[in-house]
Chain A
């Protein structure tokens, strides 16, 4: 197996045999003609055909990829109709009595050389546009004499030095599964077209892509920009899985985007996304999330040498708020510690870090770190709908103290005349059995709960799921966990606040009925799962199943 690295321009996976693309070139012979008038007519009608073809391509591109990208085909049309080009060709036919094909090929040579000789990189590349349009014209001339050859019917991944926009947009999506090119960048014409046409592609491979790979089985991973030549069994299996998920996702997307999360009997639930870094935001919007139910702020703290500044954090939170355009973004204050360590925090070595100095415990102990983050969050609240959430809570006192610090921060912002929203909701994560058992008290202090089922399971069952010897015993469906979730939901609703789930269980289809029966208001999960759960919700009738589910869980 050979692994090539390039630039992925469309997030998709494609399998197929590599076929190195040969430019459709026709050998041009120079012939003497006897009747210039006839030859001029031939040229004229072929030119009309070529211009019309480009018009069709323009219309297709207009629909597929928008006006801005489609305009290249209008430019190509203008080139064919350009008076300099037309005069040159007509003149050659009339004065030298040569066939139209030859005259056009001479024009292509002359005008492409003119561009190639220019001292501007962009203009140099236009010489390929000239060759492209003249080639089209020559093909039109030739096919007006003979039938065009039939197209291949097999599935291929096209490999090429580079592809012209017209070659790209004409690819038959039934046979061409993807393409890989040596040239090209993320924003080249071709890359943009591929992206908008949903053809997985990796460009900019340079010399890594070799002629000798012709006919090899290859896989394109457009997510990572990787191309596998003759992939091994493990790679095939891994990427098949990735492709299935991706295809499934696209199907769901078509079917479910824009729909409400509503059960047969009319119950609704909010389905939101968990976000671990700014890179996840596009997926959140694409998968039609109702908001961000968990914005993990750790990415700001990890893999660096010093604390992130208020400004840096503010920008990150603000971007998320703006991107979500009025939908709720719940920012969880930093959860450093346990398995997420940053050296500059200077955390002590602990024999049991999962139960150690982490998250809110650090924040309340070192309020200067906490206040910087809270200031950034509240400042960002002026730009969208932001909520704040504290992790690893075990007592009411912690919540009261955290809220006191929030008030301090707000007072400071008021004093400095810095705008922030007065409607920032404050919530806590319920991820310790302690918090679950006192959820009735906690509910009086906050606006919402979000149940972190991963830690809740680990702490309740006393199972470290990283420990291979016992990980098979890690069972988040354990009755104790479900009972706690129900208890938390009841506490929330009794006190008039809402409750969500942001752990992995939120995306567990086997439990969606259970959660809806408990009246869970929000489920937050990794974005690719959202539409699958929406589909599930649409098939549920809570009235029918609720009684039995609740009875099975009760004491």
Chain B
């Protein structure tokens, strides 16, 4: 299992279009990809689920990825977060 955290740094947070990009990226992998925001969580392969999380600019999300391709999935998701959301990796990860 891989865990990491990011702070979203994109003007509109994770809105429809950016959510679409994230979901597209996540759907390529077999691993389970879960986003956590506070007490809520979302399946990163479902647009409704990700949008329902309502992540705004400056908010922190924790990502948990587990499965056979978790390494490449992590790499890919981190890339999307950095490039598309200009997200900044947080020091501490989900306990």
Contact = CB atoms under 8 A, between A and B. Distances in A.
B58 interface: no
Given A83-B46, A84-B43, A120-B56, A74 B51 contact: no
A3 interface: no
A84 B49 contact: yes
A114 B53 CA distance: 10
B56 A75 contact: no
Main secondary structure of the interface of A (DSSP, over half): helix
A114 B42 CA distance: 14
Nearest to B52: A114
B90 interface: no
A510 interface: no
Contacts, number: 46
Max count, chain B CB within 10 A of own CB: residue among A72, A79, A111: A79
B93 interface: no
B56 A78 contact: no
Given A71-B17, A75-B17, A84-B49, A118 B54 contact: yes
B47 A79 contact: yes
B60 interface: no
B8 interface: no
Q: How large is the interface on B (under 10, 10 to 19, 20 to 34, 35 or more residues)?
A: 10 to 19
A82 B47 contact: yes
Interface in A105-140: 111, 114-115, 118-120, 122-123, 126, 129
Interface string B7-49: 0000011011100100110000000000000000001011111
Contacts of A129: 16
Main secondary structure of the interface of B (DSSP, over half): helix
Contact of A75 (B16, B43, B46, B49): B16
Interface in B55-89: 56
Q: How large is the interface on A (under 10, 10 to 19, 20 to 34, 35 or more residues)?
A: 20 to 34
B46 A84 contact: yes
B87 to A, nearest CB: 18
B43 to A, nearest CB: 7
Given A111-B48, A114-B52, A78 B12 contact: no
Interface of A: 71-72, 74-75, 78-79, 82-85, 111, 114-115, 118-120, 122-123, 126, 129
